[in-house]
Chains A and B, each alone.
Chain A
Amino acid sequence: MHELVDRSLKDEEFEEREDDDMLICRCEEITKGEIRRAVHDGMYTMAEIRRYLRCTMGLCQGQTCAKLVKGIVAKELGVSPDKLEPATSRSPMRPTEMYIIANEEK
Chain B
Amino acid sequence: MERYDLIVIGAGPSGLSAGIEAAKAGASVIIFDENEKPGGQLFKQIHKFFGSKEHRAKVRGFNIGYQLLKEADEAGAKVELLATVLGIYQDKEVVVKIKDGIKHYKADSIIVATGAAENMVPFKGWTLPGVIGAGAAQTMLNLHGILPGKKVLMLGSGNVGLVVSYQLKQCGCDVVALVDAAPRIGGYGVHAAKISRMGIPFYLPYTIKKVEGTDHVTGVTIAKLDPSFKFIEGTEMHFDVDTVCVAVGLSPMSQLLKMAGCKMEDNPRKGGQVPIIDEHGQTSIPGIFAAGDVSGIEEASSAMIEGRQAGIYAANYLGYIEDELMKEKEDELDKALDGLRQGMFAPSNRGKKIEKTEEGIDISNNLLAKGFVADEEIERFPGVVHKLGIHPVMECTQNIPCNPCQDACPKKCIKIGSKITSLPAVDESVDCIGCGMCVASCPGQAIFLVNENVGEGMAEITLPYEIYPLPEVGEKGIALSRAGHPLCIAEVIKVRTGLAFDKTAVLTIRVPKEFAMKARFYKNEKLAKSV
Note whether A and B contact each other (Cβ less than 8 A): yes
| Residues of A in contact with B (beta carbons under 8 Å apart) | 22-24, 26, 32, 63-65, 67-68, 81-82, 86, 88-94, 96, 99-101, 103-105
Report the separation of the CA atoms of residues A71 and B447 in the bound assembly, to the nearest whole angstrom.
42
- Contact status of A89 and B256, CB under 8 A, knowing A63-B117, A96-B86: yes
**CB–CB A105/B103 < 8 A:** yes
**CB–CB A89/B124 < 8 A:** no
A-B pairs with beta carbons under 8 Å apart, 21 shown:
A23-B122, A63-B117, A65-B120, A67-B119, A67-B120, A68-B121, A68-B122, A82-B267, A82-B268, A86-B266, A86-B273, A90-B259, A93-B84, A93-B87, A93-B255, A94-B97, A96-B84, A96-B97, A100-B101, A100-B102, A101-B102
**CB–CB B272/A89 < 8 A:** no
**List of B residues within 8 angstroms of A67 by Cβ:** 119-120, 251, 272
- Contact status of A89 and B86, CB under 8 A, knowing A63-B117, A64-B120: no
Report the separation of the CA atoms of residues A56 and B272 in the bound assembly, to the nearest whole angstrom.
17
**List of B residues within 8 angstroms of A22 by Cβ:** 122-124
Give me the 3 closest cross-chain CB pairs, A-B, nearest first.
A91-B87, A82-B266, A92-B86
**List of A residues within 8 angstroms of B34 by Cβ:** 94
B:255-306 near A, CB below 8 Å: 255-256, 258-259, 266-268, 272-273
Report the separation of the CA atoms of residues A99 and B266 in the bound assembly, to the nearest whole angstrom.
36
**List of A residues within 8 angstroms of B122 by Cβ:** 22-24, 32, 68
Which secondary structure dominates chain A's binding surface?
A: loop
Report the separation of the CA atoms of residues A103 and B102 in the bound assembly, to the nearest whole angstrom.
6
Known: A67-B272, A91-B95; 7 extra A-B contacts, CB below 8 A, are A23-B126, A32-B122, A65-B120, A81-B266, A88-B259, A94-B97, A104-B104
Report the separation of the CA atoms of residues A90 and B86 in the bound assembly, to the nearest whole angstrom.
9
**CB–CB A93/B259 < 8 A:** yes
**CB–CB A91/B86 < 8 A:** yes
One of A32, A88, A89, A103 near B101 (C-beta < 8 A): A103
**List of A residues within 8 angstroms of B126 by Cβ:** 23
Minimum distance in angstroms from A81 CB to a CB of chain B: 7
Minimum distance in angstroms from B230 CB to a CB of chain A: 12
